[in-house]
């Protein structure tokens, strides 16, 4: 575990809001202002910027950016930052991925923050037909982020990965081995990232079971904590040196996911 440093840490958060306009009605604005975050990445925004109330699309003292899908009301990511990013890239340079508005890669000095909404493998008939697309997306993004690492960036990739990595990461692993989100090939793809040096920040600080980030919206499921941990912040080795803590805010309501995040030494930017 990284040593604690004396400087006040910077908080970087991620949340799949399952529709920003719906989440706004459940207190998103108050949560954002009280989050103490320097950077916040949102997934599944499901709205064009002009459909979002101005107080949320352009809140005071925040720099904001949104990437939307061509299909209306679908997917989409958004980034809020107290400091202006040096640049934000939203393309993986492959139309079938870029049309779904799933990626923002923001540079803040030497830090690169990838805010990502990874695809679900379920097709229209819940038939796992999108699993090949999902795995191709993983691999395409992996190649892009590996180039950033080789270029000297300290990289954090955060968001809804739509995959529970290991049995500890979901309440009912045996019952879901044939379900997208816990298929062997999906777990193997997360293994490939870990084998390449990416670090699951939360598990560096808390190895406990029953730590989840998503719950079915069926009645009583969240109260019973029958969930999945499918939201992550992965760190490159160069970034992990600055990570001081990792969090899951399971008590925060407003979406079927809860926010997650890390606290990092401010020197990560330098």
Which pLDDT band holds residue 66 (cuts at 50, 70, 90)?
Answer: very high
| pLDDT, tens only, 152-171 | 999 999 999 999 999 999 99
pLDDT > 80? residue 263 = yes
pTM as predicted: 0.96
DSSP the chain: -PPP-SSPPEEEEEEE-SSHHHHHTTTHHHHHHHS--SEEEEE---S-GGGS-HHHHS-TT-EEEEE--SSTTS--EEEEESS--SEEE---S-HHHHTT--EEEEEETTEEEEEEEPPPS--TTSSSTTHHHHHHHHHHHHHHHHHHHHTT-EEEEEEE-----SGGGBS-TGGGTTSTTS-HHHHHHHHHHHHTT-EEHHHHH---SS--SEE-SSTTTTTTT-EE--EEEEE-HHHHTTEEEEEE-TT--SSSB--EEEEE-GGGG-
pLDDT > 60? residue 177 = yes
The mean per-residue pLDDT over the stretch 135-150 comes to 98
Name the average pLDDT for the chain.
96
pLDDT of residue 6: 58
Which pLDDT band holds residue 240 (cuts at 50, 70, 90)?
Answer: very high
The mean per-residue pLDDT over the stretch 22-32 comes to 96
Residues acting as catalytic residues: 160
pLDDT of residue 17: 98
pLDDT > 90? residue 1 = no
The mean per-residue pLDDT over the stretch 195-220 comes to 97
Would you say domain 10-269 falls under CATH 3.10.28.10?
no
């Amino acid at each position: 575990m990284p040593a604690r440093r004396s400087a006040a840490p910077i908080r970087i958060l991620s949340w799949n809001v399952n529709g920003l306009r719906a989440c706004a009605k459940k207190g998103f604005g108050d949560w954002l202002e009280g989050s103490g975050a320097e950077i916040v990445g949102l997934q599944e925004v499901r709205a064009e910027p002009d459909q979002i109330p101005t107080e949320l699309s352009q809140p005071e003292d925040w720099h904001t950016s949104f990437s939307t899908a061509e299909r209306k009301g679908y997917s989409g990511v958004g980034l809020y930052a107290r400091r202006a990013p040096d640049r934000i890239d939203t393309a993986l340079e492959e139309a079938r991925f870029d049309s779904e508005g799933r990626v923002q890669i923001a540079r803040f000095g030497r830090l690169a923050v990838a805010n990502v909404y990874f695809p679900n493998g379920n097709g229209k008939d819940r038939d796992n037909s999108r699993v090949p697309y999902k795995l191709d997306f993983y691999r395409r993004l992996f190649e892009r982020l590996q180039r950033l690492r080789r270029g000297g960036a300290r990289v954090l990739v955060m968001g809804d990965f739509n995959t529970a990595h290991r049995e500890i990461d979901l309440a009912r692993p045996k019952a879901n081995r044939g379900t997208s989100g816990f298929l062997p090939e999906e777990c193997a793809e997360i293994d490939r990232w870990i084998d390449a040096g990416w670090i699951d920040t939360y598990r560096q600080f808390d190895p406990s079971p029953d730590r989840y980030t998503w719950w079915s919206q069926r009645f009583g499921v969240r109260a019973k904590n029958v969930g999945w941990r499918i939201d992550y912040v992965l760190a490159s080795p160069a970034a992990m040196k600055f990570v001081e803590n990792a969090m899951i805010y399971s008590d925060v309501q407003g979406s079927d996911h809860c926010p997650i995040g890390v606290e990092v030494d401010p020197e990560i930017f330098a």
